[in-house]
Amino acid sequence: MSVVVEAQTRVTRLFDDLAGFWTEIYSAPGVAGGIYRRRLERALAWVESLDLSPGAPVLVVGAGAGFEAIALASRGYAVTAVEPAAAMIAIARTRAEAAGCNGIRWVRGDVHALGFEPASFDLVVALGVIPWLHSPNLAMTEMGRVMRPGGWWLGSVDNSHRLDAFFDPARNPVIAPRARAVRNALLRKRPSFEPKAAQHSSNALRRLLDCAGADRIAEVTFGFGPFTFAGRPLIGDKAGKAIDAALSRLAERGTLIARSSGAQRLALARKREVGVRDI
Ligand SMILES: C[S@@+](CC[C@H](N)C(=O)[O-])C[C@H]1O[C@@H](n2cnc3c(N)ncnc32)[C@H](O)[C@@H]1O
């Protein structure tokens, strides 16, 4: 098996195994649950601001348990949802049926190789998927290929400058590159090694968007915590939520440090019209 096929197999297996967790996280009472709910709310608010036509074709990649696909289908868009993990698709389908969204096209597939015609979608949504990809540049090129010129990309990455990582040596960015190198070496030696989510800076995200031929229109970071030390919780849930809320307020006001150090980085970008770059 090639290295990339093996890497993807491991990621898919992880999400098959954790399908229940990635469904329940949205209703979890803790800090993490609140961050995922906020990500979805913000993403949907941005979509609403785009004024897409009713029935516009929308692609959701890494659809997971179907939260964003169902929300977008309920708003009247023609949603195609791509997801490699069979257990996640099964949950997403059941949830969609329960919500009365029967028109979603579910595709068991991989964002690195999308089987759609070029320029088929007005909007591509990629929430929480880029951190898990073995070849994010390739995936972004592929997403760019299926977006129509002037169409939109909306997605998230895990922020490499996140504040919570500074408090935990295991996640501190000074140590992280070495940790990544060790992990990559282990990955080659120990096939059972668990995949971990990659993190991206604002510049790294801009380079990814460039692969899709898209220009960033808006970007925010948000979500502070859960704060840990050596992987263990540093503070209780109640205090954690209060800190998250206070820092989020500062971030929204554009306060220095807070505005760029949230755990999640959410971006909206627009695909260049043909030839725009050459003018
Ligand atoms: C953290 S979950 C996010 C799910 C959903 N987008 C959400 O925000 O709730 C990441 C999802 O990406 C999927 N994924 C992993 N590798 C993928 C790939 N190569 N192509 C498409 N989706 C992938 C996983 O199976 C998983 O369902």
Residue-wise pLDDT tens digits, 25-63: 999 988 888 899 999 999 999 999 999 999 999 999 999
129 Cα: distance to centroid of ligand 1 (angstroms)? 4
Question: Is residue 277 domain-resident?
Answer: no
64 Cα: distance to centroid of ligand 1 (angstroms)? 5
CATH number of 185's domain = 3.40.50.150
Q: Which of 12, 25, 70, 83 to mutate to test the pocket of ligand 1 (most atoms within 8 A of CB)?
A: 83
Question: Is residue 203 domain-resident?
Answer: yes
* Alpha-carbon gap, residue 172 to 174, rounded angstroms: 5
Question: Is residue 85 domain-resident?
Answer: yes
* Alpha-carbon gap, residue 126 to 105, rounded angstroms: 16
Question: Is residue 33 domain-resident?
Answer: yes
**Domain with 239 in it:** 3-268
84 Cα: distance to centroid of ligand 1 (angstroms)? 8
Which residue owns the Cα nearest ligand 1 atom 4? 64
Question: Is residue 222 domain-resident?
Answer: yes
Mean pLDDT across the stretch 10-25? 95
Residue 133 Cβ < 6 Å to ligand 1 = yes
Phi, psi of 69 (to 5 degrees): -60, -45
Question: Is residue 273 domain-resident?
Answer: no
62 Cα: distance to centroid of ligand 1 (angstroms)? 3
Beta strand residue intervals within the chain, DSSP E: 57-61, 78-83, 105-108, 121-126, 147-159, 199-200, 214-222, 228-229, 232-233, 264-271
Q: Is the pTM of this model over 0.85?
A: yes
Query: For residue 262, what pLDDT is reported?
Result: 84
Domains held by the chain: number: 1
Question: Is residue 231 domain-resident?
Answer: yes
The residue type found at 176 is A
Question: Is residue 232 domain-resident?
Answer: yes
Residue 60 Cβ < 6 Å to ligand 1 = no
